[in-house]
Amino acid sequence: MATAVDHYAVMGNPIAHSKSPFIHAMFADATDQKLHYAAQLVEANGFEKALATFFDQGGHLGLSITVPFKEQAWQLAEIRTERAEKAGALNTLWLDSEGKLKGDNTDGLGLVRDLKMNNGVSLKDARVLVLGAGGAVRGVLEPILAEQPKDVVIANRTVSKAETLAELFSGKPVSACGFAEVTGSFDVIINGTSASLHGDLPPVPASVITRTTTCYDMMYSAGTTVFNQWALDQGAGKVIDGLGMLVEQAAEQFAIWRGVRPDTEAVFTKLRQEMS
């Protein structure tokens, strides 16, 4: 008799270049878990149906959600974890023990883990500058604040969007401004804008960077990202790109689904090798 295999998938559009199937297959291998993880392209208006169809099939237990469906996933989940509530978007769905559709957002945890565990950068009592105020930034603010930084400044091209995000976290040491208005220097600077997709840099004063500043670009690329190259040129002490965050957010998903946290180092090393 054939052994039943549990099914997982990532849904998005586009999806062809997703590294999630590779990452989760390596996690499954390393932890001796029997599962199948697929990439599923979903039409722009077909997410709700695709979701229902997926979970209606026996043994289809969990989904990774990527652009552009993270906000819709948040709306469709029956139960959300506390950290996902504020994120306004989900990257992880699964059926809980009562068959309810449950959602989480592991992006922020992935970012914090990559900073702390893989790079030895603590956010506790740190001055943190976050560039951007879109979905990617909203998804990571709660876990960043949970690390108890001294303060978090959100700077964005459209200042009103940064202000709206800061208001979501009222009572916490969070403020908002435009790029040109950022003053002082920071311990950690996180680039969550998509400016580099357009070949741009967020125009913050170079004085935000000192030689003890760590710059983290949530984007990643084969070579140094445009933002991280700029940061190095300004004398930043350390630059990190988002590849580690990608692997760590997946490891959190895997832990939620399978109850075992995979080691991430081998996967990270392999992905980095394959990109170069």
Considering only residues 4 to 43 of the shown chain, the ones binding ligand ATR according to CB under 6 A are none
All residues at 6 or more sequence positions from 40 whose CB lies less than 8 Å from its CB, including other chains: 9, 10, 11, 15, 50, 54
Binding test (CB under 6 A) with ligand ATR, winner from 31, 33, 81, 194: 194
Shortest Å distance, C-beta 168 to ligand ATR: 15
Distance CA 42, CA 78 (A): 21
Cβ–Cβ < 8 Å for 184, 127:
yes
Shortest Å distance, C-beta 35 to ligand ATR: 28
- Per DSSP, the three-state class of 259 is coil
Tokens of 18: 């997703």
Binding test (CB under 6 A) with ligand ATR, winner from 78, 125, 181, 200: 200
Catalytic residue, chosen from 19, 70, 86, 102, is 70
Asked if residue 134 binds ligand ATR (CB under 6 A), the reply is: yes
CA 210 to mean position of chain CA atoms:
26
Report the amino acid identity of residue 61: L
Q: Which of the 8 DSSP states describes residue 104?
A: E
Tokens of 184: 């002082």
Tokens of 249: 């957010």
Distance CA 124, CA 66 (A): 29
Binding test (CB under 6 A) with ligand ATR, winner from 18, 64, 156, 213: 156
Binding test (CB under 6 A) with ligand ATR, winner from 75, 148, 158, 175: 158
Shortest Å distance, C-beta 200 to ligand ATR: 4
Which range binds ligand ATR by CB under 6 A, 119-127, 195-203, 206-214, 242-250? 195-203
70 is catalytic: yes
Residues of the shown chain interacting with ligand ATR in the complex, contacts defined by CB under 6 A? 132-137, 156-158, 161, 193-195, 198, 200, 202
List the catalytic residues. Answer: 70
